[in-house]
Chains A and B, each alone.
Chain A
């Protein structure tokens, strides 16, 4: 497919948009993994939402 004399600009804009969207997706996923890991660590310590008044052990 021929994009004409300015193909570079078109590819660059689509490429940069793709990168930005990928970065957003990566941010969302990494953030989710981080929070879930933190929740899991806390749950391992015996602290979770389900049992609010139970301390350690």
Chain B
């Protein structure tokens, strides 16, 4: 999928991946999340917990919310808190809120006992985001994090992301909109010249 792609990211900084539609921003994030196998190359998280794979120390916040409509909002979040293994080490002190507190922070505390089926798209998105706050993990992989959020929630999300960076976390995010993050590196993905684009079969 990618050729000659290499980047490194320092603690407390964010990488914003930009590029045209279909260039493979989502694929890059999914590769980092370990959901797409690497053909060659490595992903390393230095200073992390050595016995764990990089993706087990990362949160993936993708297009899908992973919200079960039949469970209550709190049950959804409780499950992820118990199920996802936390990952902390000395240089990273991420937030580990209690589920209710996380819901309150995101402004959906009053829905805690309702079945998640009653949530609007934006509320489901925020419930999914609350997942990142209840289990501390140093790396956040966020694919279009601001989609389905209104302006106010977007501001709040930026606040949370900056907090995460300040606590020593890493963020890799694919986005179309400008994000006011504190420390930004930009990775711009570009398609090679059409002339260079030889179908793989032709090479065989």
A interface residues (Cβ-Cβ under 8 A, vs B): 41, 45, 56
List residues of B whose CB falls within 8 A of some A CB.
110, 113
The reply to whether A41 and B113 contact each other, CB–CB distance below 8 Å, is: yes
Assembled-state Cα–Cα distance A41/B110 (Å): 12
Residues on A with beta carbons closer than 8 Å to the beta carbon of B113: 41
B113 nearest in chain A by CB position: A41
CB B114 to nearest CB in A, in angstroms, measures 9
Q: Given the complex, which residues of B lie within 8 Å of A56, measured CB to CB?
A: 110
Q: How far is the CB of B118 from chain A (nearest CB, A)?
A: 11
What are some 3 contacts across the A-B interface (CB < 8 A)? A41-B113, A45-B110, A56-B110
Chain B residues with CB under 8 Å of A45's CB are 110
- Which chain B positions have C-beta within 8 A of A41? 113
A46 to B113, CA, bound (A): 15
Q: How far is the CB of B195 from chain A (nearest CB, A)?
A: 60
Please, which residue of chain B has its CB at the minimum distance from the CB of A45?
A: B110
Q: Lowest 3 CB-CB distances: which A-B pairs, in order?
A: A56-B110, A45-B110, A41-B113
A48 to B87 CA separation, bound complex (whole angstroms)? 44
Which residue of the partner chain B has the closest CB to A56?
A: B110
Q: How far does the Cβ of B75 sit from chain A's closest Cβ, in whole Å?
A: 16
Shortest distance between the CB of A42 and any CB in chain B (Å) = 9
